[in-house]
């Protein structure tokens, strides 16, 4: 099993950066990239666990189709990390199993 990052962010990132937290680890990433891209570049290999069997899952399509990239963002479960741009101060956790839906919490991240 590989542990080397499949993606990387240039160390001399161009433009402004933001700080996000994934599972308690603070990461500095370029502003405007997706949460999935930021986490993959930071070395994350498990974004969620499957509902049946708790198998580790990670982004596959990176375009909003497969739903393998679910994470919890700022306490809201089942967010498609490939479609959501990073924002300074985001707190991201793995989606473990089935999400507990909290009602009408699925807003447009850009609103």
Q: Does 97 bind ligand FES (CB under 6 A)?
A: no
Phi-psi region of 67 (alpha: psi -120 to 50; beta: other; left: phi over 0): left
Q: Which stretch binds ligand FES (CB under 6 A): 6-14, 57-65, 89-97, 101-109?
A: 57-65
Q: Give the residue from 111, 106, 27 showing the smallest Cα distance to 73.
A: 106
Q: Does 59 bind ligand FES (CB under 6 A)?
A: yes
Helices (H), the chain: 35-41
Among 5, 55, 61, 102, binds ligand FES (CB under 6 A): 61
Positions 34 through 53 that interact with ligand FES (CB under 6 A): 36
Residue 102 CB, nearest approach to ligand FES (Å): 20
Q: Give the residue from 53, 47, 29 showing the smallest Cα distance to 93.
A: 47
Using the 8-state DSSP alphabet, how is residue 34 labeled? B
Binding site for ligand FES (CB under 6 A): 36, 59-62, 64-69, 80, 82
């Amino acid at each position: 099993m590989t542990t080397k990052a499949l993606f990387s962010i240039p160390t001399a990132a161009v433009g402004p950066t933001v700080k996000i937290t994934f599972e308690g680890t603070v990461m500095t990433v370029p502003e405007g990239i997706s949460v999935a891209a930021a986490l993959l570049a930071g070395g994350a290999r498990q974004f969620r666990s499957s509902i049946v069997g708790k198998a580790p899952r990670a982004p596959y399509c990176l375009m909003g189709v497969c739903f393998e990239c679910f994470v919890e963002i700022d306490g809201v479960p089942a967010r498609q990390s490939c479609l959501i741009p990073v924002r300074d101060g985001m707190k991201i956790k793995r989606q473990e199993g089935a999400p507990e839906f909290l009602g009408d919490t699925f807003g447009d991240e850009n609103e």
